[in-house]
Amino acid sequence: MNDNVIFCCVLKSELFRWHQIADFLKQNELNIDSDIEQFMIALDENEQIIACGGIAGHVLKCIAINPELRGQGLALKLMTTLMNQAFRLKRYELFLYTKPENEDLFTECGFHTLAKVPGKVILMENSATRLSRYCRNLSELRRDGDKIGAIVMNANPFTLGHRYLVQQACAECDWVHLFVVQENASEFPYEDRLTLIKAGVADLPNLTIHPGSDYMISRATFPSYFLKDQKIIDECHMALDLQLFRNAIAPALGIHHRYVGTEPFCTVTAHYNQAMAYWLTTPSLSTPAIELHEIERREMAHEPISASRVRKLLAQQGPAAVKSLVPESTYQYLWQRYMPQLASA
């Protein structure tokens, strides 16, 4: 490899370079992901791209190297540059998506495999112990019982439909663990969603509410979940996310049941429910199967209650229109949030 390689950062605003990167990725059978904030690229003496890697939050992705230059040390230099740039952005806990054939290469760069879809994709992170430490912390909250359930919930915002799902799970289980999606990619901030969930289920005694993590419906494990408007359905993302739940999180808490609501509106969530039917319940996989319970959504006025329905009514008519669809605590929050805007309009 020529020593005159130059590494530089490319932001989304640099459209000409961005298009060059997209072309380079296409030549390497990759597409440029819309959530990438910036790229680190390697240029040869003719200022042609010979390698690139993208940063999307705490995830490194769209990593490609000119096939003619592989095996010459360029990959290690690219990864060192890419990780240093992530560290400059104060992103120290990193995840990486790559093809299975690159697993050994990125292992040499300090990454460790979390989950894989054979022949398609591998999810890795730059720590050999972070997931196990997370699971050890979870295990301290383990509860005894013959039937331990789990729910993973975004609740954007928390509705009576969400409460109905939690009530059903709590009625059927000795204990339920409810995980709140932590990403701030929804209309309502994570801290607000967490507060509304806690207020909306405060009367249920056999329930533990867990903060979200990077290992569960996050931009690391399931980035296409946060690109719903683009109707992106990535079966590999779903598979990786569900493998982590089945292989690591569920055993830590003794979970053998997972509860979800039926999904008549969102295509991505509906496909995720279908993916659960395979990745959680198939007995031939390496860890114990998890029984899936799909609960029919609660209805109001002959229409399923959903967060999307609440958001639509809020936008069109304001908080008064959703009073019958949400707990009182959510209604009070929405009133305080929206009424000042309506009054000043």
Q: What percent of the chain has pLDDT over 70?
A: 94
pLDDT class of 297 with cuts at 50, 70, 90: very high
Model confidence at 199: pLDDT above 80: yes
* Structure tokens given for 160: 């009576």
Model confidence at 175: pLDDT above 60: yes
User: Three-state DSSP class for 153?
Assistant: strand
Mean of the pLDDT values across residues 284-292? 91
pTM exceeds 0.75: yes
Residue 341, pLDDT score: 59
Read off the DSSP letter of residue 169: H
Residue 224, pLDDT score: 62
The one-letter amino acid code at 74 reads L
Residue 230, pLDDT score: 45
- Of residues 235 and 37, more confidence is placed in 37
For the chain, list the domains and their CATH numbers: 6-128 (3.40.630.30), 140-344 (3.40.50.620)
pLDDT tens readout for residues 252-266: 999 999 999 998 777
**Lowest mean pLDDT: which of 45-49, 70-74, 136-140, 341-345?**
341-345
What is the sign of the dihedral through the CA atoms of 36, 42, 44 and 46?
Answer: positive
Which is nearest to 127 in space by CA: 107, 115, 116, 111? 111
Query: Cβ of 328: how many Cβ atoms within 10 Å?
Result: 10
**Cα separation, 174 vs 267, whole angstroms:** 32
Mean of the pLDDT values across residues 58-67? 92
pLDDT tens readout for residues 156-168: 999 999 999 999 9
- Of residues 51 and 237, more confidence is placed in 51
Mean of the pLDDT values across residues 138-145? 97
Name the strand (E) or helix (H) holding 198.
Answer: helix 190-200
